[in-house]
């Protein structure tokens, strides 16, 4: 039961960047391989606010989210907007270039040293033999709150309707008066917020170093693809599946192979149902 609880919390954490990946894929139709570097950047932004300026995590996390949202918009205008109509390979290489720059800037200023956030130590919650530490509780609350906000935006706002319209048919959406560039900017901003929060939560439950985002890259892609790439709600289900599989597999094999387990699940889903569990197959005509 403890492994299941840990898996659910891990799944909620993975869901944040998986949603971000699905949102950008739905709008831009390419896989953003810089998602891991964005997670890492979010963690370092929170570390700067927390360690350098003494801000508590309750303030450092939103600051990191806002800064990364703005940075994501800058990257969108400086890189992705310029190659928006290029082929998938060009977009993929562009995202890998963004990841390379972000990670190396962080390494230049902070090196490869392992750092930790300054947070108070709290006793874990115990119930019927189950253990839930303060960090896990924070992850669950933040992740569920963020997902609720995203769901509201997608279902009940003009921005959400614009995002769905552009995802379905960008040319028709522009003909109907939807401002594509503005909608894309907001999509990147939301993705920046989600990945920053994921980075902060990872750092809260572990450490801050230049590889933390890359350590989750396979899990995030697996979650997004399993749920149906481009479907943010499916990404949540995919993330929960990956979280549970990774944690329960640790009962039998070393946690060193955690990403390997996610990769195996990803390959199986691609072989059996290429469009993902909650995706819709596209028919070529």
pLDDT reported for residue 275: 85
pTM: 0.93
Q: Which of 73-77, 137-141, 189-193, 278-282 has the lowest mean pLDDT?
A: 278-282
pLDDT reported for residue 279: 67
pLDDT reported for residue 239: 97
| Residue with tokens 């979280």, as numbered in its chain | 243
Cα angle vertex 115, ends 54, 33, to 5°? Answer: 105
pLDDT reported for residue 280: 57
pLDDT reported for residue 281: 54
Answer for the pair 12, 197: CB distance below 8 angstroms, yes or no: no
Q: Which of 75-79, 172-176, 210-214, 243-247 has the lowest mean pLDDT?
A: 172-176
Answer for the pair 112, 209: CB distance below 8 angstroms, yes or no: yes
pLDDT reported for residue 209: 94
Tens of pLDDT, residue by residue over 49-83, are 999 999 999 999 999 999 999 999 999 999 999 88
Tens of pLDDT, residue by residue over 107-158, are 999 998 999 998 887 787 888 888 889 999 999 999 999 999 999 999 999 9
- Counting beta carbons within 10 angstroms of the beta carbon of residue 57, is it exposed (0 to 12), middle (13 to 18) or buried (19 or more)? buried
Answer for the pair 233, 164: CB distance below 8 angstroms, yes or no: no
Tens of pLDDT, residue by residue over 26-47, are 888 888 999 999 999 999 999 9
Q: Can you read off the two tokens belonging to residue 41?
A: 């950047």
Q: What is the mean pLDDT of the chain?
A: 91
* Rounded distance between C-alpha atoms, residue 104 and residue 197, angstroms: 21
pLDDT reported for residue 283: 43
Q: Can you read off the two tokens belonging to residue 166?
A: 């552009």
pLDDT reported for residue 285: 39
Give me the domains of the chain, ranges plus CATH numbers. 1-118+130-272 (1.10.3470)
């Amino acid at each position: 039961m403890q492994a299941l609880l840990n898996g659910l919390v891990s799944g909620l954490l993975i869901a944040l960047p998986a949603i971000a990946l699905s949102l950008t894929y739905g709008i831009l139709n390419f896989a953003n391989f810089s998602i891991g570097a964005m997670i890492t950047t979010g963690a370092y932004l929170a570390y700067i606010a927390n360690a350098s300026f003494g801000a508590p995590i309750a303030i450092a996390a939103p600051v990191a989210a806002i800064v990364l949202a703005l940075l994501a918009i800058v990257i969108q205008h400086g890189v992705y907007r310029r190659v928006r109509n290029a082929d998938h390979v060009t977009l993929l290489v562009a995202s890998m270039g963004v990841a390379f720059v972000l990670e190396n800037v962080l390494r230049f200023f902070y090196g490869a040293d392992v750092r930790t956030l300054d947070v108070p130590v709290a006793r874990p919650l115990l119930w019927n033999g189950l253990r839930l530490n303060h960090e896990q509780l924070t992850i669950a609350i933040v992740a569920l709150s963020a997902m609720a906000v995203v769901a509201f935006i997608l279902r009940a706002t003009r921005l959400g309707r614009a995002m769905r319209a552009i995802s379905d048919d960008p040319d028709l959406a522009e003909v109907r008066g939807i401002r594509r560039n503005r909608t894309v900017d907001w999509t990147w901003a939301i993705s920046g917020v989600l990945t920053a929060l994921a980075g902060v939560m990872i750092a809260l439950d572990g450490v801050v170093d230049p590889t933390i985002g890359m350590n989750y890259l396979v899990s995030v892609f697996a979650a997004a693809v399993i749920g149906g790439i481009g479907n943010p709600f499916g990404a949540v289900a995919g993330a929960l599946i990956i979280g549970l599989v990774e944690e329960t597999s640790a009962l039998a094999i070393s946690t060193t192979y955690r990403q390997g387990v996610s990769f195996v699940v990803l390959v199986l889903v691609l072989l059996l149902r290429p469009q993902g569990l909650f995706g819709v197959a596209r028919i070529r005509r």
